[in-house]
Amino acid sequence: HLRKIYFWMFLQSLSYIKKDFNLLKSLGANSCRISIERSKIEPRVGQNNNNEIRHYYNVINELFANIIEPILT
């Protein structure tokens, strides 16, 4: 059973992400919906933005580190 807590966040840097996800965990959340914006990871057809890919990778790993299930949209 997934507990829903609606929590708006603007994910900029990993330090904010860690604080936000710690807050989610302290509120009892066990899942978090995040959206992956295709235009950020592939700004042009066939051209990948590795910095954005790494950012999303870090976000998802931080969720797992806090035992929060990422729900990707």
Residue 69 β-bridge partners: 31
pLDDT score, position 14: 63
Plot region of 67 (φ>0 → left; ψ -120 to 50 → alpha; else → beta): left
* 40-50 per-position pLDDT tens digit: 899 999 999 99
Band of pLDDT at residue 13, cut at 50, 70 and 90: low
Q: What are phi and psi of 40, to 5 degrees?
A: -80, -40
Residue 29 β-bridge partners: none
Tokens representing 14 are 């990993």
pTM of the predicted protein model: 0.73
Band of pLDDT at residue 20, cut at 50, 70 and 90: confident
